[in-house]
Amino acid sequence: MKFNYTNPYTSTRTPVFARNVVSTSHPLAAQAGLRILQQGGNAVDAAVATAAVMTLVEPVSNGLGSDAFCILWDGQKLHGLNGSGCAPAAWTPEYFKRKYGGDARTPPQRGMDSVTVPGAVGSWVAMSERFGKLPFADLMAPAIETAERGYLIPPVVQGKWAAATPLLASQPGFAQGFMPWGRAPEVGELFRFAAAARALKAIAATRGEAFYRGEIAEALEKFSTANGGSLKASDLAAWKPEWVEPISRDYRGYTLHEIPPNGQGIAALIALGILEKFDIASLPVDSVESQHLQIEAMKLAFADVYHHVAESSSMALTHLQMLDDSYLASRARLIDVKKAQDFQVGNPVKGGTIYLTAADESGMMVSFIQSNYMGFGSGCVEPEFGISLQNRGHGFSLDAASANVVAPGKRPFHTIIPAFLTKDGAPVMSFGVMGGNMQPQGHMQTLVRMIDYGQNPQAACDAPRWRFNAGLEINVEPGMKPATIEGLAALGHQMDVINDAYQDFGAGQFIWKMGDPAVEGYVAASDARRDGVAAGF
């Protein structure tokens, strides 16, 4: 791919060229990954170290109680890791209806009854054991130092922190962990997290055993019981991450790879499969016609995903059936190029997630994502070890007819999705876009810009985005051309210009291989919608 390196969009970032790169949404985390690479670690080591630091420097989006997913190229082939947690053994529809009333449709949004087994720490260990070079304890060292010495709060993180505090201040452990002065920190204030340092030291010393079968597991059970939850140490001990085969779909000579369900990555594959039936490249990049086709393809994808996708063993259809070419062609024929349509998609939720990607000069590339789901997740923070717990249980249904109905040991529908691009079986790009249901939409929009229009990764990242919500509702960034907004509205899209990039339009990180990694290296991009950076050497 020969990119156009002229950026037509307002940006505070430029492409980064290097042979070893880490790109994520906080500079200290990216630098932690570089530190590990400079110590002789590989891209997996760097990703694990970066992920551990991210639990501290962007706690609004992830924590030690997060879930995680990964797609990585080991130099020879692609591997997927599903590090999403499962429901406690006590969870059934009856459990929730007894506690929250017979008309409850999902587990609660916050509190201990929204917490499934956290999978991030176990994912770090699994990645390190299978592909890492350095001792696992070395990978935790930057995070331990960050927790003990603290860091100054950056602007985007502070805004999310302040917004969440009134909603979560009453949740158990939240104020103790995240309101050190009885309020959210201000920009530039020093935040230390001694409890998380204790956890990280125990995790480092035991290669994660303390979290799932030791003192942290026992503390989590005690905390859960004291606050009305049912998470047990036995639930943590029974869980393990799962190595999986990524699912894929070809698009214009490239192949996009996603983690299979229970995640929503298949939505990006469906949308691109539909979009490939149209000659997008013949339309101007930011035109009404191009954006309309992308929006309609994404709506069709979500219509299927929200109905069918759950843990794969519970789905009535396989992902191959959902990606069948003739089926996608029939879906493409439903698109009216002159009119927006309502494909009856349900109301998607918003999310809080971090994404990072790392690549080294040996050719190893890592696409990694971890999340507490909604901002600060459940709001529950185990105080002894500073474990900020996700609220992924809210993603279950209590409807017995749903493929996503809650059951003991089952994984819920997940929004977080790392992505990877190959061409003719060789690695091209590790990338991801954070933000609830924005993630597959971001995958599709940025890939179209790079593949169909030749925009370089930073320009594709900086370009104004739209976000489909439900029905005919479309959120759009203020940077989109007024003529395009007006033209889409004339087609029937209900356009709402939202000046809140962090909340509504996600944030991406991209590493594209330029040739031989030891010679040409990579070009990387980092999203200005967050505080991050792409850094390399």
Q: Report, as residue numbers or ranges, the catalytic residues.
A: 353
**Rounded Cα gap, residues 335 and 42, in angstroms:** 45
For residue 425, give every residue at least 6 positions away whose Cβ sits within 8 Å of its Cβ, in sequence order, or none.
none
Q: Check the CA dihedral 110-111-114-117 and report its sign.
A: positive
If one counts every other C-beta atom within 10 angstroms of the C-beta of residue 285, the result is 18
Report helix, strand or coil for 391. Answer: coil
| Greatest Cα-to-Cα distance within the chain, rounded to the nearest angstrom | 63
Could you tell me which of 65, 146, 330 has the C-alpha nearest to residue 321? 330
356 pairs with which residues across the strands? 24, 368
Contact present, 273 and 249 (Cβ < 8 Å): yes
The residue count for the chain: 537
Contact present, 239 and 212 (Cβ < 8 Å): yes
**Rounded Cα gap, residues 73 and 56, in angstroms:** 27
For residue 421, give every residue at least 6 positions away whose Cβ sits within 8 Å of its Cβ, in sequence order, or none.
254, 255, 256, 257, 427, 428, 429, 430, 431, 447
To which H or E segment does residue 528 belong? none
If one counts every other C-beta atom within 10 angstroms of the C-beta of residue 430, the result is 34
Contact present, 449 and 455 (Cβ < 8 Å): yes
Could you tell me which of 415, 397, 414 has the C-alpha nearest to residue 406? 397
**Rounded Cα gap, residues 151 and 197, in angstroms:** 13
In order of 353, 362, 531, the CA distances from 439 in angstroms are: 10, 29, 18
**Rounded Cα gap, residues 47 and 53, in angstroms:** 10
In order of 143, 186, 209, the CA distances from 152 in angstroms are: 15, 9, 31
Q: Check the CA dihedral 58-61-67-70 and report its sign.
A: negative
426 pairs with which residues across the strands? 423
Q: What angle do CA 265, 48, 160 make, to 5 degrees?
A: 65
